[in-house]
Copies of this chain bind each other. A is one copy, B any other.
Amino acid sequence: MINTIFIAGMIIFALASIYFFIAKKNSGINTAFLVSFVTLASYVLMWEGTYVAQSRAGEPIYWTRWLFYALSCSLLMLEIAKVKGITSKEKVAELIFLNVLVMLAGYLAAITFGVVKWAFFTLSAIAYLIQIAALLRIKEARSNWINAFIYFGWSVFPIVFFLAPTGLEIFGAAIAMGLYLLLDIYTKIVFNLRLKD
């Protein structure tokens, strides 16, 4: 089941990479393509299956995901900052640095246990809230729809992390991987299709 999800992820993000590469709109960074391309690489490595930890309940924890997110979501953050009209290079650099902290702390929460896991989960959540608060504070008509993506897309990731084998183990790795795939499609493909309009 988990392998089927990874294969689906590979096919979907390979097709998305090809589409966004061809459909490139302007002379800036082709973030849509690069984000899909990095996500494709991430699914290949998870499918390979070597770089996996084990939860207390014996479920696989695919910790490499969070390192790839440090790359791909930093690009998304750059794109979101642009749509939001953030022109201060310092502000954009801070948002990207915070995003790297969110993902590195998430990675550390995924590979540790007990109180340390929850300490890193808390640090990751704090960095995320600071980042998101800075983004949502910006009132910019053209970017209102982005807030919906952040609320219903980005913010569901830590909830899945919290309930999955990386956290309370309410559900197993298969459900977690399925939910992450849906979230990846929503925040990395649907988002970029919407952005092109």
Contact = CB atoms under 8 A, between A and B. Distances in A.
The main secondary structure of chain A at its interface with chain B is helix
A186 interface: no
A41 to B, nearest CB: 5
A45 B109 CA distance: 10
A34 B97 contact: yes
B123 A37 contact: yes
Contacts of A34: 94, 97-98, 101
Contact size class for A?
35 or more
Interface in A120-163: 120, 123, 126-127, 130
Given A34-B101, A48-B112, 17 more contacts: A21-B130, A27-B91, A29-B91, A29-B93, A29-B94, A30-B94, A37-B101, A37-B123, A37-B127, A41-B123, A44-B108, A44-B119, A44-B123, A45-B112, A45-B116, A47-B116, A48-B116
